[in-house]
Amino acid sequence: MNIVLEVNNVYKSLSRREIIKGISFDVKEGEIFGFLGANGAGKTTTIRMLVGLIKPDKGNIRIMGYDIQKNLVKALKQVGSIVEYPDMYNDLTGRENLIIFSRMYGNVSKERIEEIIELIGLKDRIDDKVKKYSLGMKQRLGLGQALLPNPKLLILDEPTNGFDPLGIIEFRNIIKNLARENNTAIFISSHILAEIEQVCDRVAFIDKGIIKSIEYTNKLKNNEEYDKVELIVKEQAKGAELLGKLEYVKTIDILDNKILLSIEKEAFSKLIFDLGKNNIEVESINKLHQNLEGRFMQIVEEG
């Protein structure tokens, strides 16, 4: 797959405070890439750089090979985006908003506008004034505006704000179809971890301006046959000898001062009991997280 978005060693300071500290990642065509971090981690600053609202201090950002600092217009021609809340003309209808934005993009046919209206699920309300729309409907219309030029890269910041559960499911299907059928690269930032897990292929975890990890979501899902446990004991050899005798312990790996175990489901409390019963002094014991929410919390706690 071709790389659509490439971020290379980017730094950014605001008010003399370093916000972004050398981040690097890429997004490939047909890929849905999640961007996760706590408030103040650097998500919004990154997105503002991606859409050309602010410039990086160091490093470079390329979209379809165009450096955003040297060829901003050519780079942004490849991009559709919803950053924060989409701008609308509230006294105009949804259709009139799409028509105005289509003229800004140029070369958007009437057929494309009708196709977008169908895609975003606003066919029955498209001729109502936008001021009568719910927040979720405005988000749908914003998505439609972003999709008018058939962009190679779609950048979405908290796109499901205001959606009801059915709207979230429909939005998820729209995004997946865009990636699959149009080969669109999608960069999505959201605080709804379960939604990111459902829709994204890869996820970057950012904390205090640093990308801590980039991981495939299918490897984070808790579909393992056994639970994973990380253990540190005072006497490692003695601990490993005991663990080798416990029938619910399936594998043991020694990594520096840590013992990594796979154990039967629901056997974690038994493990703690047996360690105590056999006078194994435990310095640390953790069940390793197997889903996106758990992995996110693990990274935040480490940070």
Indicate whether 149 and 271 sit together in one domain: no
Indicate whether 46 and 116 sit together in one domain: yes
User: Does pLDDT of 174 surpass 60?
Assistant: yes
Q: Residue 85's domain is classified under what CATH number? A: 3.40.50.300
Beta strands 79-82 and 153-157 are parallel
Indicate whether 297 and 210 sit together in one domain: no
* Within-domain flag for 47: yes
Per-residue pLDDT reduced to its tens digit, 257-286: 889 898 998 899 999 999 999 999 999 998
User: Does pLDDT of 167 surpass 90?
Assistant: no
Indicate whether 114 and 135 sit together in one domain: yes
Report the Cα 81 to chain-centroid distance in Å.
15
Q: Residue 264's domain is classified under what CATH number? A: 3.30.70.100
Name the residue type at position 40.
Answer: G
Last residue of a domain, one of 217, 246, 272: 217
> What is the arithmetic mean of pLDDT over 47-68?
96
Distance, in Å, from the CA atom of 261 to the CA atom of 271, rounded to the nearest integer, reads: 11
What is the number of other CB atoms lying within 10 angstroms of the CB of residue 298?
16
Per-residue pLDDT reduced to its tens digit, 77-122: 999 998 867 788 999 999 999 999 999 888 899 999 999 999 999 9
* Within-domain flag for 58: yes
Indicate whether 290 and 171 sit together in one domain: no
* Within-domain flag for 222: no
**Per-residue tokens: 182:** 């149009």
What is the number of other CB atoms lying within 10 angstroms of the CB of residue 58?
12
Residue 255's pLDDT band, with cuts at 50, 70 and 90, is confident
Q: With CA atoms as reference, report the closest residue to 137 among 109, 166, 111.
A: 166
Assess contact for 266 and 274: CB atoms under 8 A: no
Question: What is the three-class DSSP state of 4?
Answer: strand
Indicate whether 287 and 188 sit together in one domain: no
Contacts for 99-105: CB closer than 8 Å, 24+ residues apart: 101/145, 101/148, 102/148, 105/148, 105/149
Indicate whether 192 and 279 sit together in one domain: no
Last residue of a domain, one of 195, 217, 239: 217
Per-residue pLDDT reduced to its tens digit, 132-164: 998 889 989 999 999 999 999 999 998 887 777
* Within-domain flag for 65: yes
What is the number of other CB atoms lying within 10 angstroms of the CB of residue 257?
10
Q: Which domain holds residue 256?
A: 227-302
Q: With CA atoms as reference, report the closest residue to 67 among 54, 89, 50.
A: 50
Indicate whether 176 and 37 sit together in one domain: yes
Residue 63's pLDDT band, with cuts at 50, 70 and 90, is very high
Is this structure's pTM higher than 0.85? Answer: no
* Within-domain flag for 88: yes
In the chain, the number of structural domains is 2
CA dihedral over 105, 109, 113, 115, signed as positive or negative: negative
* Within-domain flag for 70: yes
Which residues, at least 6 apart from 137, have a Cβ–Cβ distance to it below 8 Å?
94, 122, 125
Q: With CA atoms as reference, report the closest residue to 8 among 78, 86, 60.
A: 60
* Within-domain flag for 28: yes
Which stretches within 27-164 are classed as H helix?
A: 43-50, 72-76, 94-105, 110-119, 135-147
Beta strands 185-189 and 153-157 are parallel
* Within-domain flag for 277: yes
Indicate whether 284 and 248 sit together in one domain: yes
Residue 224's pLDDT band, with cuts at 50, 70 and 90, is low
Burial of 145 (0-12, 13-18, 19+ CB in 10 A): buried
Beta strands in 108-248 (DSSP E): 153-157, 185-189, 202-207, 210-216, 227-233
Burial of 29 (0-12, 13-18, 19+ CB in 10 A): middle
Question: What is the three-class DSSP state of 92?
Answer: coil
